[in-house]
Every structure is written in structure tokens, then in C-alpha cells.
Structure 1
Amino acid sequence: MDHRLVAPLLFLLGLLFLSSAAATSAAGDEEPLIRQVVGNADVDDNDLELDSHFVSFVQRFGKTYKDAEEHAHRLSVFKANLRRARRNQLMDPSAEHGVTKFSDLTPAEFRRTFLGLKTSRRSFLLEMGESAHDAPVLPTDGLPEDFDWRDHGAVGPVKNQGSCGSCWSFSASGALEGANYLATGKMEVLSEQQFVDCDHECDSSEPDSCDAGCNGGLMTSAFSYLLKSGGLEREKDYPYTGKDGTCKFDKSKIVASVQNYSVVSVDEEQIAANLLKHGPLAIGINAAYMQTYIGGVSCPYICGRNLDHGVLLVGYGASAFAPSRLKNKPYWIIKNSWGENWGEKGYYKICKGSNVRNKCGVDSMVSTVSALHAPKE
């Protein structure tokens, strides 16, 4: 098939399968739909070549397996993930997909171990304009075309949540790090482990959906916890372990406190305005394409809006050329919590703009936090 026909064909097929996409999104896994649209994408597989790629993967990421059986299993998963990366590449041609440090994990293992955003009615209530913490509407005239809080000192180092579903805590701490910087002029690297060990706050719209350490949580619930507890300690005072533990919170060591928080409407101009006013924003996203993401601007033809991963929105860009779409693409800049050896040194870019509104649910769950000028005593 002429490669020039691939993009239009995929778009038309995507429209045909929208009903399937909705059903798949409800199940939390786009993989069957992507496979249905683009096929197996496994022609030209060569076992010797794949074995060689696996050896390089093991060496590059320092992988070890307990025995020959586990090694064989991970090799088979790796091969399946290479085919999956090819499918993702066809569906998301403006990004680069391939081998990552997660290439020996099944999609189910990846979701269970490295995501952790709990499902909530909050994003759906927000779509309908209903929230107890609605952010006020901000003026959007004169917003800059490009903006990145990394250039202004409000973003801390990229961290690694490890094999713990605590993404929500990194999203929340990152937002407070930025807000505290705006309030005090000082970058304090804050503790996620305090959230993991001590925060058991429940979402007001879903009392059964409570923050649960490595078993997931919500950023807005985390902010509510901080309002009640007084704030966060430094990471060096309450270091991250990547596992659930006993709460060791010391109120005398608080260095950043929440004044208030709010939920931003599903509107890209309002999101950008709140980003500039309040600093980095805590957001939810659908991570369907992130397991195989290497770099570039992710703008998949089909992506569900069910949210399963908490990340930090730190900026946006006006244009990144997308050859497959023959034009420049505006994009959001997202800080992740999988270490610097994932993505673009720990960062992810996803397209923005009116013609791709809410891609992968990126606009659906956005919250901002304001910090006190001095921590509570």
C-alpha cells in the first residue's frame, strides 16, 4: 500500500470503530482496537534479530530474571511488545515508539505496576460543569505561544515512582513544588512517601475511592489531605521507598503548605491560563501509548479518554513538525515519574489544539494548587 494513503485510511477506520473505542475505553485497554485497525504489524519478524534486540535490551536496562523459564517468558513478552510498538507507531506517527525499559512487561503488568490513578466521577462531573472546587474563569488574552516552567525554576528534578502505583503522589507533589516556588521563591523538593504512607483521604464524590499508597489515589484528594495535615516535608526528610509503609509524618518539618486548590474546566485556553498563573498543574491522562513512547509529539489517531495515570503539566509549545500530518503541531509538555531513562529525559509531549481537543483525556482532570507564603506552624 502507498504509505501516503496510510494516514487517511487510519483516520477513516478510526471513525468506523468509534463505538468499539468507547467499549474498549470502558475496559481500560485500547490494545484490541489498535490491533483491529492496523493488524498484527509483525511481517518481517526474524527470531534471531529479535533475540539480539532482547539481549541488548537486557544489557541496557540491567534486567535480571530468576531462571530460564522466566527469561523465556520475558523474551516472548518482549517480542509481543515490539509488534505492539509497531502498531502504536502506525497509530501515532508523529511520535517515536519502540523499545523502552517496560518492554518486558505485559500491558496488564505495566498498568498494575506503573500507573495508579484511581477512576473517579470527578472528570465526568467537570465535563458537565459540576465541581465543588471549580477554578474561576481567567482571562486568556495575550497568552504566550510557548511557555515552559522548567525555564523559570518552578519544576523539580524528574523522579522515579518505581514498581509502585503512586503516580498520583508525584503529580500532587510536583504541583505543590511549583506553587511553593511561586509563593516563596525557593524550590523545595517534596516528599511523595508522606502521601504514600499517611494520606488515606477519600474523594468527596466517591467515598469508596480513597488514596491508598501504591494501590493508587487522586491528586485532588491528596490536596485535601494536605489542607488537613498542614503540608509536606522535604523528600530528604521523608525519603521515597517505593512501597507502602507506616506513617512517620513530622509536622515540625513541613516546608510547603496548601492554601487552596481548584479543578480547571475542560478548556485548553483556561488550562493554559491557569498554568501560567498557578504554576505546573496536576493532570490525569490515558497512558495507552506511553509504554512504548520514546520521543516526539504523541498525537494518536485513536486514544481513549479513560484516565489511568497522574502526571504534571509544566508547559506547552506552539509547534513541532509532524511529517505525517504535513503541518506544525502545538503540544503540551508533561513531566512523568518514571525516571530520566524514559521518554524525552523523563518528559512526554502530547498534541493540543482545537482539532485534537482532549487527546487521551489530557484535558479531563486538571487541578491547580496554591501554596501559603510560609508553611503552617
Structure 2
Amino acid sequence: MGSSVVDNGDRSALLDVETHFKSFIARFGKAYATAEAYAHRLKVFEANLVRAVSHQALDPSAVHGITQFSDLTEEEFKQQFLGLRVPSRLREANKAPVLPTNDLPEDFDWREHGAVTEVKNQGACGSCWAFSTTGAIEGAHFLETGKLISLSEQQLVDCDHSCDPTDKVSCDAGCNGGLMTNAYDYVMKSGGLETETDYPYTGNSNGKCQFNANKIVASVANFSTVSLDEDQIAANLVKHGPLAIGINAVFMQTYIGGVSCPIICSKHHIDHGVLLVGYGAKGYAPIRFTEKPYWIIKNSWGATWGEQGYYKICRGHGMCGMNTMVSTVA
């Protein structure tokens, strides 16, 4: 968890920046090699405190403040912790059929049904797409077999170089980004994925592909893209398991908790692959706001980020483009 620097919009919390910075260094085990590096990161940290105050004003039903990313510039954060390569035109093929939505449960969470592995950590590697992919396949495998197995992201990072058929420049490239639908193509062609234990995560893409087909434990028969309609997304979630989605992560660098429902969040700048695991009818909101229906999203930045590694975002508005790149596997 991080800590809020905002108290009723009072900017006085920003006055003693270095005190906050020293607390941040101690809490997250940060170290800087030189006095120059320390001074530079202090300036970045100060800018991020101002950003957190701004985000709090734009997103008052969530809590924003100091996180483990508060010493990174926006550009550094994007390069190291995002990594979704969005094609110029999204796939039209493999559209999911329309499902009935009249009997959906009011609240649903795949964590309560055993279909979600522990929160993982991609580290400073733009491999979010690989974690989103394995999460969806882990859930589908659980629905099929009743067994929850943690699957290998590193296999995708090392071995998957698939390209989007509609945009040949959108290719999976390890820590330099990728796309979940490309990864499904790879898994179908290669035969499947190994376990996390057999092919452990290293957080870099310098290694050679070590894939061993004899160690495959989960496979993909097909995948579908889900429509923009959020009731259809909910229906697919309940029927098929956790869904891989793309999202605009602009508010996630400063997010601590609550239901994120920013006043402005572009639906077109999708840059992060995550896993949709559930939804709720009534999320926490301050007294002056009505309670909000929300989505529950599993992230891949470790359990110290957000709400034990999870992100809540309001439902029904296509918030931050969460409905534009949704896929399901079987």
C-alpha cells in the first residue's frame, strides 16, 4: 500500500517534500548511488506528489498518493511497468457470441471461486501483456479441470514473437511490450504453456527460449474478442472466467485504493494489460458521492500496490477504455 498525501484537498501536505521522500525511501527500500541521483529523484518525487493531488481532485472516489512508483517520471513508468502494444486497428475476427444478461448475479468475484492465482510482479519489464494472458488461461484451465496452476509468463517473454495479423508492427517483444491476442496465437501454435515453477519468471528478455513441449500443462483451443457492451463483458466473465483486458493506466501510478472513476480518462490511450476477475454493485465512495458499481482488476505490480495488488474502476462508462480490448479463452 502507498500513503495519501491529500487531506481535503490541502496542498500544505506537499510543503515538507523531503520528509515524505525519506519516508518513501525507507518504506520501499529505495537507494540512490550518488547525491546527484538523490537530488534528481527528489525532484521527480515532488512532481509526482503534485500529480497525486491533481489525480485526487480528478478522481475523488479513489485514494491517490505515494506509491512504489513515486520516484519515476511518467515516461520511465510507462517504459518499465506498462507495455501493451496496441495495433492501429483491433481485430474483428473471433467475435464472442452475444450472451443473455438478464440473470447476471449482482456481485461476482472469481477469486471467491478459486480461479485466480496470487498477485504476481512483472518488475521493471514491459511484460504486462504476458501476465494478462496467463491470468486468462489460468482461469480457463481452472474452469475446465478444477485445478488452479500458475503458468509461465517467462515462456511468453522468451519465446513468443507473434504479430497481429492486421498490423505487422504490433509484435510481442518480451519486456518491450506485446498483445494478449498475439500471445493466444502463440500458445495455440506452440501447444501450450509450462508452469511458473518449470519456467520461472526472471523479469528480463535477454534469455533464449527454453520451452519444453513435454512440460505443457495448459493449452488454448480458441479465443474470442468481447464487444464494448459492459453487460456482455460481465456475462462473458461469469461464463468463461477471468478476462484479459487493456486499459489506460494513467491514474494507476498514484492509485492507493477505492473505486477509480476519474472525470477525464481517455479511452483511446490503452497502454496496460490486466485481468478482469469480478465486479461489485456498490463500491466505496465518500459521503458526497453515490456508491458506484465497479470492476475488480488484477494487476501485476505485486501485492504492495493498490488494494493488495488489485484495482477497482467504476463500471458502466467504458472507463479508461477498459471495454475496448477484452478477450476470452477456451
Question: What is residue 367 of structure 1 aligned with on the other side?
Answer: 327
Question: What is residue 342 of structure 1 aligned with on the other side?
Answer: 305
TM-score (norm 2): 0.95
Specify the code of the residue in structure 2 equivalent to 1:44: S
Q: What is the root-mean-square deviation of aligned Cα atoms in Å?
A: 1.3
Question: What is residue 274 of structure 2 aligned with on the other side?
Answer: 311
Residue 284 in 1 paired to residue 241 in 2? Answer: no
Q: Which runs of 5+ in 1 are unaligned?
A: 1-40, 126-130, 371-377
Percent identical among aligned pairs is: 65
Superposed displacement of residue 122, structure 1: 4.2
Aligned residues: 320
Superposed displacement of residue 157, structure 1: 0.7
- Name segments (4+ residues, structure 1) moved above 6 Å: none
Change (3 A) 1:258 1:113: same
Question: What is residue 4 of structure 2 aligned with on the other side?
Answer: none
Residue 268 in 1 paired to residue 230 in 2? Answer: yes
Question: What is residue 108 of structure 1 aligned with on the other side?
Answer: 75
Superposed displacement of residue 45, structure 1: 6.2
Match of 1:135 among 82, 89, 96: 96
Q: Name the structure with the higher helix share.
A: 1
Determine which structure has more spread, i.e. the larger CA radius of gyration. 1
8 A Cα contact 1:122 1:365, kept in partner: no
Change (3 A) 1:294 1:211: same
Specify the code of the residue in structure 2 equivalent to 1:216: G
Q: Does the residue aligned with 2:237 lie in a helix, a strand or coil? A: helix
Superposed displacement of residue 121, structure 1: 3.2
Change (3 A) 1:324 1:309: farther
8 A Cα contact 1:161 1:242, kept in partner: yes
**Distance in 1 between the 2:312 and 2:226 partners?**
20
Superposed displacement of residue 43, structure 1: 4.6
Residue 55 in 1 paired to residue 8 in 2? Answer: no
8 A Cα contact 1:266 1:364, kept in partner: yes
8 A Cα contact 1:94 1:324, kept in partner: no
Q: Does the residue aligned with 2:291 lie in a helix, a strand or coil? A: strand
Give the alignment of 1:193-342 within 5 angstroms.
Answer: 193-244=154-205, 245-305=207-267, 306-323=269-286, 326-342=289-305
Q: Which runs of 5+ in 2 are unaligned?
A: 1-8
**Distance in 2 between the 1:103 and 1:198 partners?**
32
Superposed displacement of residue 328, structure 1: 1.3
Match of 1:189 among 125, 145, 150: 150
Superposed displacement of residue 46, structure 1: 5.6
8 A Cα contact 2:11 2:53, kept in partner: no
Match of 1:79 among 30, 46, 53: 46
8 A Cα contact 2:81 2:123, kept in partner: yes
Give the alignment of 1:6-85 within 5 angstroms.
Answer: 43-44=11-12, 47=15, 49-85=16-52
